[in-house]
Chain A
């Protein structure tokens, strides 16, 4: 017997609205439809009506978790358009916040993964430790969520010596805790048993469907903008691209935990090598007609902004592609032939940020009349033609 179960737009597993319509047979998912559009704010249109400075705060509000990544991506693009070079200390501070944000985002994700797997203790512990980094961010920027540290030509706040020490102390605490999670959390049998072998995405499929971020890296695709196309100081920072080849949710967890360690390394590098000097230069109010592509490795994957200016105070076009949108086609593939019990885990494993993914349309009337869902069957057919899919192996035995 097969029937439809709706996951979303409102569902306990989803923190933001999206509609996944599953066709299930017993406990096994046979088909998935995704419907977007519940969370559109029309940001791209709005950006065309706001000035360059106002748009910093607008792009920051694309997402609540990776707020800094969108703002940084936008700001580093606009700086190229305006042909200004922020001072070195400003750049270091900007990416200090961005690495701290990556730490907070990955810790948040670890907790979510624990919660989706019904492991609430893990959830509570990771989120408690995430408070350490949240407090650091609050001390640096003055706010916990929207740091607003970026401005055109640098950053808005400087760091004093006491705060620098505090950050180093906080990072030491976090390092210990992360090691603990890596060692212990990843070997709790009920937890690992839920993650291993779930949501398989082969390397070929990940490439064909243009997956990004930890989702792609867990399938063995070594893509990281920080390494491939180093922006700012990343060509001098010591870090490795974390990958895994298990192609499942466990791999995505491992990649994120490894990235946490890489981030700690980068943060320590920044704090040790922090050059003296000013943190910002003055930016003009207008930009010459030009176009620029700004790429940034957000916690969820590559973030790309295409900014076009026409010589006025406002951008002509700001195109935002958030990493979650790029991962949707891959998610559908991961969900297929999985169990209902795995839906939240697989969906959470791309670290979905629906706010990020949906930002384009002015949504005035959100009432849903007749149903229009997105059929991904055709997409799947094409993807399968182009890439051999791994045989669906599932870990259905007790893992010890």
Chain B
């Protein structure tokens, strides 16, 4: 019987997470975990509902988003259109009321649609462990993923999001408009210099590889260029070459690869 543990402080939760090791699973919104968990299973579930992690705090230049903030809560509190668009395209309203920002970052394809937006925004993740807090860029977190999923770095407690310096776009390729699993989802942000050339770019994809990632090859294709058709097409082609998608009932690897290219191009076009 898995034990449901409902710690009352982050320290306690981080301690439980460390001491139970692989037997522990984090219960946030439950929309993913409870599908897979049976009352007869072994292990412990560590619930986040008493930790005060369900709040968004506005700070200078950005927001501190608790890991247990719901997707609809994020949409209400953080007025970044690309991020709001991402939350609207995950499940229906009930799922959005239940599923959490933190939980979605651990979701496996075809369900982790928030990550590209946060990658494009340069968000930072804060983990609590027995040794204290550790903050890391979200791309570093995903770089640590293996075939088995996320590294056990500690307990994700909040997500730091800064106000975007430039424009950010988010597009999801889905077979259905609402409540649809992803074919791929893509977010892009660019900063331009005085001449209109792209000085910095962040292009991120989900559903296109084993985990969400920033596509350096696509970014390089636009940095230094204007956002013209040739540069956007080059970025799309670079993304198509870089992804390693899977086949599932929603789409084949062949189709996902194609859409990675198309949607990187379209996400950039939305910024041009």
Whether chain B is bound by chain A comes out as: no
